[in-house]
Structure 1
Amino acid sequence: MLSYNAILRPELEQWSFTETAFHSLAQGKCESVMSLGNGYMGLRSATEEAYIGATRNLFVNGTFNRFDDLEVTELPNAADVTQVELMIDGKRFSLDTGTVTEYERTLNLRDAELTRAFIWKNAEGKRVKFEFKRFVSMQDLHLIGLKIRLTPLDEGIHLRLASGINAQVSNSGSQHFHEGEKRIFDKKYLQLVQTTTESKVDFVLSALHRFWIDGVSSDPEPLMEIERRKMEMAYSFDLKVGQTLEMHKLIQVHTSRDADVPDSVNLDSLRKHSLQALQQSETSGYDQLFLLHQQAWAAIWDRYAFEIDSKNGFDLLALRFAIYHMMVMTPMHDRRMGIGAKGLSGEGYKGHSFWDTEIFILPFFIYSDPKIARTLLEYRFLGLEGARRKAKENGYEGAMYPWEVAWPSDGEVTPVWGAVDVVTGKQTKIWSGFIEQHITSDIAYAVWHYYQASGDQQFMDEYGYEMIFDTATFWSSRLEWNEENSRYEINEVIGPDEYKEHVNNNAFTNYMAHFNLQLALGYYDELKERNPELLSRLDASLNLQARAPQWQEKADAIYLPQPDERGIIAQDDTYLDKQILDLTPYKAQAKVGTLFQDYSLDQVNEMQISKQADILMLFYLLENRFPRELKRANYDYYEPKTLHDSSLSFSTHSILASDFDDEQLAYELFRRAAEIDLGPHEHSSDAGIHAASLGGIWQCVVMGFAGARMLDGQLHLHPKLPEAWERLSFPLYWKGAKLQLSIRKERLEIQTEDKNEVRLVLFGKKVSFTGQLQFELIHI
């Protein structure tokens, strides 16, 4: 059970949430939502003591490996550094035995610190107070710190504490590392060196322990143990009643893919660097290292300073939770790496990146930290190699982006087989890697979105134009001519609604492909006039003179589904002819996917049931191309048929509900999006947090309630605060200028220190200002 009220530490109100009781059968929830990280690595928050059912994960971004030729590449689960075995009076400590009182495990979002505290009484009646702290440094990306304090409360105890580096872990059974080398230096420093089996990435993990008793340094003689894939140090203490033992454990994590370590590909050099970094950490000490980490996070929260005055304190907590996880999962340090669909919090989706990044997460960075947005798009530029290879392998031209991507040059890495078919008992085939192709235009859209909002011409010259031109070439080669109807179509695809496979003319896919083609044509004509030298260079590698006429021909003749007499645009050629099922019992589900306990995917494919927003996503991305009445009619039709089984769905529906002035539904859907991970469902996040939904939470607030949109290269604002909110304040970057917005029910204020004139569209009217703008909303 999670509590969102910081009763013991009022200063952390709306900055923390707490697990108030430990349940060994539901460990995955807090392991994921309380996970720590810094973009370089992510540490799942399993408890220090071991339990059956725990999942101990440490991932380093970009270190993908294939266990076997029949499996796809995934982020390997590195050795565990957090497990500590505690033996009290000869018996193993466990929360499953004895009596536990005053239990609380808290994630402090402000300081990115995990804490756990409780009093445990054993069968003999001895009470021991336990305190645990943990952080993954935002100041030193390679550093993990742990602190443990134990105090006997009634009478003395004998304690045996064993801790080390344990590589007897796997990715759900797949072992990604060779045995490796293990060494203990000076009876103090542990070092493990391992190499991934296929990608040959070297990992070096170094660790040390330090002890104090009642604040006085203690240097006990350790019992050193090395065995297969594991080494540890065991220490023994006799603690008197009231004495406090404190242990600090510091860990340095490095790999041969570290861009910030000189000569990281040289294993000998990497070994030495890791050990030296550990010794430097020891000199600084845990408390000083944590202080530097706190300061780094303080700067982050200063940059992303949101304020919400709401009757429900959970709202601001949920937004901070979303921003926290977007920080800990985003590889701000290295453009060769992307964002996994579960961040770095669990093994779900194997660390692969999807369209989630471009459509749901990237907007946060576009408007909050454009430099990071650019880095994420450069990752996709590096992925052109794999995208071009995928296009060629499928008989197409240009760049066909993979549905799932790992290392940017790898190409398609989507698994082929998935969950069970309840009718046949066989595994279902995952078709997304073969026929879910809208991601190619989604990436082109993201490039355009970033450019329009940032004005980053250098990015476009070096990367953006090439991406847009080559994705347009893919669509040009992908379109199929229908002689009977004299039009180009896109057949045999999956749209955003993955409950509809092998469909023809998915409206989202067709419209976005058309957008991609038009975008390329527009930039081609622009470069002819403005920068013919750049166009000539691109033409030499992309054959643009021959391809531009093809883009034009296909764009002019592509089939774009039109509304019927009711104003409904068919999601695909056959959707509106399928059986309608009452989804009421499934919409109230506590766990995603209960529909498939009653129906197979093939059966659902023949029903008017959508997994997530599809047509409605199109209305959001290309909103000014469709009249409001059309969007509303389709919203009313498709929302009852949408299960929101994808975490991507609630935010889109919430934003559209705001557009339609359905304030109550917009707020309700925002809360449901916020509760996907942070809510009460015990197993919602077992495989990891839902990265896209976290970006969606931010979009609900900024794009929905604040009404901020980029339309035709202009910033539009149309605030509509929920009834429960009195004020919303946040920073927003536009064309290089930082704007600070403060929205109340009756007034909008915008401030900027930028000296240039700011132009925007407010409630449909163009306005401009320098320095400060105040606008009365009471009569709007």
Structure 2
Amino acid sequence: MGNILNYTKGQGEFKNWIIEESDFDYQHLGKCESIFCQGNGYMGVRAALEEKYVGEKRNMFVAGTFNKFDEAEVTELPNLPDITNVIIYVSGIRFRMDSGVLHAYSRSLNLKTGELIRKVDWESPNGDRLELCFNRFVSVANRHIIGSKVTIKPLSGDMNISIESGIDGQVTNTGSQHFHEGEKRIYDATYMEMISKTIQSGVYAAIHASHAFEIDGKKAKVDLLPVIERRFLSNKLQLTLKKDSVFTMEKISCVHTSRDLKYESISDDIVDSLKNDGLETIRKAYELGYDALFKENKDAWAHFWREHDIKINAINDYDQLAIRFALYHLNIMTKQDDNRVGIGAKGLSGEGYKGHSFWDTEIFILPYFMFTQPKTARTLLEYRFRNLYGARLKARENGFKGAMYPWESAWIDDGEVTPKLGAADVVTGEATPILTGLIEQHISADIAYAVWEYYIATRDQEFMDNYGYEIIIQTAYFWSSRVEWNETLKRYEINDVIGPDEYKEHVNNNAYTNYLAHYNMKLAKEIIEEMPNINPELYKKLDQKLHLSNIKDEIDRVIDGLYLPKPGEDGIIPQHDTYLKLKHIDLTPYKNAEVVGTIYNDYNMEQINEMQVSKQADLVMLLYLLDDLFDKETKKKNYLFYEERTLHDSSLSKSTHCILANDLGYRDSAYEFFRSSCDIDLGQNMKSSDMGIHSAAMGGIWQCVVMGFGGVRIVGDDLYISPRLPKEWSDISFPLVWRGNPMRVTVSQDDVVVENMGKDAVSIFIYDTKTSILAGQKAGAEIKR
């Protein structure tokens, strides 16, 4: 079997919009289940096939519905009752593509419309041959609706068809059952209902479904047998289909939960509200039918793409498809109107990382929303404000002051939810302790950094007054209490941490952590000093709440003495105190491996800790985020030194190296890193995405295109646009929002043009020339080589 994924399926208006799985391999179910995931930010439905297979993962998640199965486990997004399974029997033989003969197969996701379509020409073991077509969408027009359709056409003769379809509450999260048995009912022999409640968090989920039938394009009345079993209800039907006739079953489903924003202030009769709203939604949807509902969904996607599409003219069309793939997933993983939920490391596409939010959001994903949908960026940062309670609690529990953000976050009052144990130690055979929740602490500075970047890009003063300043000040207070005085060297240090490079544990003075902590404290110090003059009422309010003068005293005490590693005689900045003294080994076999993490096959964490090997961009990330602190020569030396020692075993890594390589003039390397970033999920490695897509990689792809090749960067208080296209691209065009004004940037190999489509004049730098662009006007420059 050759390559399974086909990137050229789309033609005409759908060119570079469709990803096709052109062959079926039951050993590689997880890949397309993840990358073909459908959603709308409210919910995500993993693209498991309608019929069941060993090894499949059937997942439906609703943002924010976290639950803890057992006190010994951490909270996770629970897998809601499944509505995708459809059991089909053909003359008594169960339809499965791994039995009989598969004459033709195609499954494709249309990024432009959000529809998943599978077409199958199947011959059963007893010789019956038929065509089947499966359609599915998750609506972005009505975020509670899921539409699906099954079409069956007998080819070899008349056939007896039996179908069972319903709501399956027997699903688990890898064995953990999160819901009580619940209530089950079928109304009017048409509308199915299952009401379930999570066992610990008390979240109700209401699932409704309905079925409608056609034969040869005409509505058909089909006798249904209702079935109610433990955590399960369905309808069964049997009929005889004539040769070449076409039978269609439409299944419309809807989902509501007590965590929906609508019910936030409702405490009484929540179950009745969920039932009534669910029944009203499903009845209306049933009357409209699949085609009308899908048209609403398609129109909503069309509106999104008109505003947010990025157009790339490239030698390889894959580049255009890849950026659209990233934009699609960035928008189906994010609940854009709810500040109680963040973005999971796998979005809503799989059980990996339990739906928890990491620093991925602020550093890799938020820039996309900040520069294109700033209201959504604000919502995501408000989520971090609502996490402050847990951050302060974690700081106190660890003997610190201020706000120490959880490494993994879930619901707004869950606090730290990082699991304690992970994979097996190849040497000892024991479960490996997960230390990130204890000592990977840079996330507090990452969030403060993101808050300030958002403010510079938006000038959203109301956000800063109500949320942003407090986040920056509270996290800075944490760092002022976290540093330790080294009497011998007469300096403050940050010891016993994990930096972004998680192959190095219990290190002292991780450069990334120290510099970002210093940046965090510097911001807070300036804010506290300037606020009495700019907004004395706000200063008074925050001072009463936080005791700002005490915090400033603590920051003043340590900030100038904090150790910030500098380049040595060879120009290399030590990633941490002992990194440059560690053993250097040949990493070629691990760099060339088809899967990540192969170094664990030969070494355990303790051994890796003693080698000059990095999991991902660490110091290189520092050079990117705080790039105005380092000259070009320092960046070059450190980029080359650390890239040689980096395995890129994290999906966060290659996009950062792409951007810095492009900045430094390594155009071929930059393009290779871009393509590799795209391949993490979209590439032909059929095991790369089993547990879900990589959310940060989606943001990373966008950053490669816009921040890297498009040259978009915030420097100080200004926006710079300094494009450097790869030679493989003739031109690109992308949207950008700066301080409330939408713009479109068009870059060719010869020039760059910025169009201001907003209401106000914008002042930006194109390369090093400050340019004012009036509303409705354009400005440009020649490309600098």
Shorter-normalised TM-score: what interval? over 0.9
Please give the per-residue CA displacement for 1:523-550, whole angstroms capped at 9, x wherever unaligned: 1122121001101100111111111121
**Counterpart-to-counterpart distance in 1, 2:169 and 2:758:** 52
1:651 and 2:655 are equivalent in the alignment: yes
- Contact 1:258 1:264 (C-alpha < 8 Å) held by counterparts: no
Identity level (%): 50
Q: Specify the SS of the correspondent of 2:261.
A: coil
Q: Specify the SS of the correspondent of 2:28.
A: coil
1:399 and 2:403 are equivalent in the alignment: yes
Aligned partner of 2:43 in structure 1 is 41
**Greater CA drift, 286-295 or 437-446:** 286-295
Please give the per-residue CA displacement for 1:646-665, whole angstroms capped at 9, x wherever unaligned: 00000000000001111100
**Counterpart-to-counterpart distance in 2, 1:477 and 1:755:** 45
1:170 and 2:175 are equivalent in the alignment: no
- Contact 2:7 2:321 (C-alpha < 8 Å) held by counterparts: no
1:150 and 2:152 are equivalent in the alignment: yes
Aligned partner of 2:60 in structure 1 is 58
Aligned partner of 2:385 in structure 1 is 381
**Counterpart-to-counterpart distance in 2, 1:596 and 1:3:** 29
The total of aligned residue pairs comes to 780
Q: Specify the SS of the correspondent of 1:135.
A: strand
Aligned partner of 2:707 in structure 1 is 703
Query: What does 1:234-273 correspond to in 2, within 5 Å?
Result: 234-260=236-262, 265=267, 266-273=270-277
**What is the identity, as a one-letter code, of the residue corresponding to 2:714?**
M
Q: Specify the SS of the correspondent of 1:410.
A: coil
**Counterpart-to-counterpart distance in 2, 1:479 and 1:744:** 48
> Which stretches in structure 2 are left out of the alignment for 5+ residues?
none
**Counterpart-to-counterpart distance in 1, 2:43 and 2:24:** 26
Please give the per-residue CA displacement for 1:525-577, whole angstroms capped at 9, x wherever unaligned: 22121001101100111111111121122111101111110011100111111
Measured after TM superposition, the shift of residue 484 of structure 1 is 1.1
1:434 and 2:414 are equivalent in the alignment: no
Q: Specify the SS of the correspondent of 2:541.
A: helix
Query: What does 1:62-77 correspond to in 2, within 5 Å?
Result: 62-77=64-79
Measured after TM superposition, the shift of residue 593 of structure 1 is 0.7
1:575 and 2:579 are equivalent in the alignment: yes
Measured after TM superposition, the shift of residue 779 of structure 1 is 6.2
Query: What does 1:227-376 correspond to in 2, within 5 Å?
Result: 227-260=229-262, 265=267, 266-376=270-380
**Greater CA drift, 255-264 or 694-703:** 255-264
- Contact 1:5 1:13 (C-alpha < 8 Å) held by counterparts: no
**What is the identity, as a one-letter code, of the residue corresponding to 2:780?**
F
Q: Specify the SS of the correspondent of 2:262.
A: coil
Measured after TM superposition, the shift of residue 280 of structure 1 is 1.1
Please give the per-residue CA displacement for 1:313-352, whole angstroms capped at 9, x wherever unaligned: 0001000000000111001131111000000000000000
Aligned partner of 2:91 in structure 1 is 89
**Counterpart-to-counterpart distance in 2, 1:324 and 1:598:** 38
Query: When the two structures are superposed, what TM-score results if normalisation uses the length of structure 2?
Result: 0.98
Measured after TM superposition, the shift of residue 439 of structure 1 is 0.0
**Counterpart-to-counterpart distance in 2, 1:738 and 1:11:** 26
Aligned partner of 1:723 in structure 2 is 727
Aligned partner of 1:186 in structure 2 is 188
Aligned partner of 2:692 in structure 1 is 688
**Counterpart-to-counterpart distance in 1, 2:115 and 2:266:** 29
**Counterpart-to-counterpart distance in 2, 1:202 and 1:184:** 18
**Counterpart-to-counterpart distance in 2, 1:262 and 1:613:** 40
Aligned partner of 1:130 in structure 2 is 132
Change (3 A) 1:342 1:105: same
**Counterpart-to-counterpart distance in 2, 1:537 and 1:188:** 57
1:775 and 2:777 are equivalent in the alignment: no
**What is the identity, as a one-letter code, of the residue corresponding to 1:461?**
D
- Contact 1:494 1:502 (C-alpha < 8 Å) held by counterparts: yes
Measured after TM superposition, the shift of residue 275 of structure 1 is 1.0
**Counterpart-to-counterpart distance in 1, 2:233 and 2:497:** 50
**Counterpart-to-counterpart distance in 1, 2:395 and 2:273:** 40
Change (3 A) 1:263 1:775: closer
Please give the per-residue CA displacement for 1:211-237, whole angstroms capped at 9, x wherever unaligned: 000011112111111111111100111
Query: What does 1:522-561 correspond to in 2, within 5 Å?
Result: 522-561=526-565
Aligned partner of 1:609 in structure 2 is 613
**What is the identity, as a one-letter code, of the residue corresponding to 2:159?**
I
**Counterpart-to-counterpart distance in 2, 1:474 and 1:216:** 67
Aligned partner of 1:633 in structure 2 is 637
Aligned partner of 2:471 in structure 1 is 467
Measured after TM superposition, the shift of residue 129 of structure 1 is 0.5
**What is the identity, as a one-letter code, of the residue corresponding to 1:212?**
E
Query: What does 1:411-490 correspond to in 2, within 5 Å?
Result: 411-490=415-494
Measured after TM superposition, the shift of residue 305 of structure 1 is 2.1
**What is the identity, as a one-letter code, of the residue corresponding to 2:119?**
A
- Alignment equivalent of 1:496, drawn from 490, 495, 500: 500
- Alignment equivalent of 2:750, drawn from 746, 749, 762: 746
Q: Specify the SS of the correspondent of 1:647.
A: coil
Aligned partner of 1:20 in structure 2 is 22
**What is the identity, as a one-letter code, of the residue corresponding to 1:249?**
K
**What is the identity, as a one-letter code, of the residue corresponding to 1:169?**
V
Q: Specify the SS of the correspondent of 1:27.
A: helix
1:669 and 2:673 are equivalent in the alignment: yes
**Greater CA drift, 222-231 or 63-72:** 222-231
Please give the per-residue CA displacement for 1:595-632, whole angstroms capped at 9, x wherever unaligned: 11011111000000000000010011000011111111
Q: Specify the SS of the correspondent of 1:496.
A: coil
Change (3 A) 1:7 1:107: closer
**What is the identity, as a one-letter code, of the residue corresponding to 1:78?**
L
Measured after TM superposition, the shift of residue 768 of structure 1 is 1.8
Please give the per-residue CA displacement for 1:145-166, whole angstroms capped at 9, x wherever unaligned: 1001000012010000000000
> Which stretches in structure 1 are left out of the alignment for 5+ residues?
none
Cα RMSD over matched residues?
1.1
**What is the identity, as a one-letter code, of the residue corresponding to 1:438?**
H
**Greater CA drift, 33-42 or 542-551:** 542-551
- Contact 1:390 1:400 (C-alpha < 8 Å) held by counterparts: yes
Q: Specify the SS of the correspondent of 1:668.
A: helix
